[in-house]
Amino acid sequence: MTDTLAPAVSSDAASADAQGFPLERRVVTAIPGPKSVALHERRLKVVPVGVTATLPVYIERAHGAIAIDVDGNQFIDLGAGIGVTTIGHTDAAVVAAATEQLGKLTHTLFTITPYESYVRVAEYLAEHTPGDFAKKTVLVNSGAEAVENGVKIARKYTGRNGVGVLDHAYHGRTNLTMAMNFKAAPYATGFGPLAGDVYRAPNSYPYHDGLSGADAAARTIAYLEKTVGAADLACLVVEPIQGEGGFVVPADGYLPALQAWCTANGVVFIADEIQSGMARTGKYFASEHFGLVPDMVLSAKGIAGGLPLAGVTGRAEIMDSAQPGGLGGTFGGNPVAAAASVAVFEQIDGNNLLAEAGRIEAVLKPGLEALQKKYPVIGDVRGIGAMLAIELVAAGSHEPDAAAVTAVAAYAAQHGVLLLTAGTYGNVLRFLPSLAITNAQLEDALGVIDEAFASL
């Protein structure tokens, strides 16, 4: 390929921010460059293949929506580490809060001798998750751990065992959560025995099923009633907008109908907002777009600006059903991660970052819709705020075209744009830029994606 050494890009935007950090993409070596290639050789000797390397480009620093690799290539990052650096890479306030905390206290174990930041994060979650009732939060280390704890608590509260999940769901890679995912490969293949009492029902996927929200909900509910029965169901765990499954936005009325059925039957309704939450869609939690008031909300990914932290927030009476000592863990709610999280909430509230997701949607969605008119391989454009996706299909059909996704993502990487894939059939490109991305960066990236489709 001759064009891997693309020249530095010029655009009307400034080329650096006030602190001198670059704002533009710039490809100066082949992708991956020589230093990345050398690092990758080292990695392959000591890191197992189960930990994939989608793009073996080794990142050295990042700020806002730009990531710079060890070879000096500057990428526009449309993935934000899968929606983790939602308010931007190395956000100044997050870095300052974590740095200050590092010098003060890095660990006590909250269940032995507590500290304030954990309590502050729990207060913020009580305030910002939907619902005007008493709520409590347990902090843990990862999304999957939040799912595990949510299920544990729902089982204790209800005295029931069954866990309902949906087709195309993704909930993690631990023993319980791999049984809750839709896809066996790669998440569960060969890793059994899987946890029992997990029941996976059809979801709402308007592009494919064409069902109204009411009809899709009736199908989901009928399935759960037949295969497990409400009386044995502890909880129903749903992603309000499915993440790994391909940013599937359910039909109007679908989620409220599920929640109403859960409430009527004493089933704990758990919103897995690990990918869709924390300002990603222009609300704190995507549940708000659908009028949902979940009994429990799971957050992780974007909650601490890049530090590992996750939360299970729920109705106080549900959360308090777990006995003293039943919840927690050595690192859960670590002081540095919690301090970073407090800074994330302060930034979202203080700088009205919720509005940034709307700004991004206003640039990116019409841009993607224009591409859809040009390229019939783009079957669907969907999503809300800074959580958008396109589904690629064989022209004139709904048959997945995963090869096109791979080719577009590879072309984008070669030209300085980091693009994530998704979808049960690997045929979705998802856009999860940080809220710090500028319109100029978005437009520049759209231009690269246009070229990528033209090159197919």
Ligand X SMILES: *Cc1c(COP(=O)(O)O)cnc(C)c1O
Strands of the sheet containing 310-315, edge to edge, are 135-140, 310-315, 296-299, 268-272, 233-238, 162-166, 198-201
Q: Could you tell me the two tokens for 33?
A: 């460059």
SS3 94: helix
Q: Which of 162, 172, 311, 400 binds ligand X (CB under 6 A)?
A: 172
Tell me if 275 contacts ligand X by CB under 6 A: yes
Between 66 and 310, whose beta carbon lies closer to ligand X?
310
- Smallest distance, Å, CB 40 to ligand X? 23
How many residues belong to the site for ligand X (CB under 6 A)?
14
Q: Which of 57, 211, 297, 300 binds ligand X (CB under 6 A)?
A: 300
Q: Looking only at residues 110 through 169 of this chain, which bind ligand X when binding is defined by CB under 6 A? A: 142-144, 147
Tell me if 239 contacts ligand X by CB under 6 A: yes
- Smallest distance, Å, CB 89 to ligand X? 18
Question: What SS3 string covers 26-84?
Answer: ECCCCCCCHHHHHHHHHHHHHCCCCCCCCCCCCEEEEEECEEEECCCCEEEECCHHHHC
Q: Could you tell me the two tokens for 35?
A: 């230093």
Residue the block writes with tokens 């758990």: 270
Q: Where are the beta strands (DSSP E) in 80-232?
A: 135-140, 162-166, 198-201
SS3 339: helix
Between 299 and 438, whose beta carbon lies closer to ligand X?
299
Q: Looking only at residues 353 through 392 of this chain, which bind ligand X when binding is defined by CB under 6 A? A: none
Between 348 and 420, whose beta carbon lies closer to ligand X?
420
SS3 268: strand
Tell me if 180 contacts ligand X by CB under 6 A: no
Tell me if 248 contacts ligand X by CB under 6 A: no
Q: Give the distance from CA 190 to its chain's centroid.
A: 26
Q: Which of 76, 249, 274, 336 binds ligand X (CB under 6 A)?
A: 274
Judged by CB under 6 A, the stretch of 114-122, 196-204, 268-276, 331-339 that binds ligand X is: 268-276
- Smallest distance, Å, CB 420 to ligand X? 11
- Smallest distance, Å, CB 425 to ligand X? 18
Between 146 and 419, whose beta carbon lies closer to ligand X?
146
Between 63 and 171, whose beta carbon lies closer to ligand X?
171
- Smallest distance, Å, CB 280 to ligand X? 10
Between 273 and 295, whose beta carbon lies closer to ligand X?
273
Tell me if 78 contacts ligand X by CB under 6 A: no
Tell me if 246 contacts ligand X by CB under 6 A: no
Between 69 and 239, whose beta carbon lies closer to ligand X?
239
Exposed, middle or buried: residue 204 (CB in 10 Å: 0-12, 13-18, 19+)? buried
Q: Which of 170, 187, 285, 290 binds ligand X (CB under 6 A)?
A: 170
Tell me if 65 contacts ligand X by CB under 6 A: no
Give exposure, 366-390, as e/b (b: 16+ Cβ within 10 Å).
ebbeebbeebebbbbbbbbbbbbbb
Between 243 and 328, whose beta carbon lies closer to ligand X?
243
- Smallest distance, Å, CB 150 to ligand X? 10
Exposed, middle or buried: residue 269 (CB in 10 Å: 0-12, 13-18, 19+)? buried
- Smallest distance, Å, CB 310 to ligand X? 6
Tell me if 250 contacts ligand X by CB under 6 A: no
Between 300 and 409, whose beta carbon lies closer to ligand X?
300
Q: Which residue is nearest to ligand X (CB)?
A: 143
Exposed, middle or buried: residue 352 (CB in 10 Å: 0-12, 13-18, 19+)? exposed
Q: Are 319 and 297 in contact (CB under 8 A)?
A: no
Between 64 and 81, whose beta carbon lies closer to ligand X?
81
Pairing, β 428-431 against β 420-422: antiparallel
Residue the block writes with tokens 């998802």: 430
Phi-psi region of 148 (alpha: psi -120 to 50; beta: other; left: phi over 0): alpha
Residues near ligand X (CB under 6 A):
142-144, 147, 170-172, 239, 243, 272, 274-275, 300-301
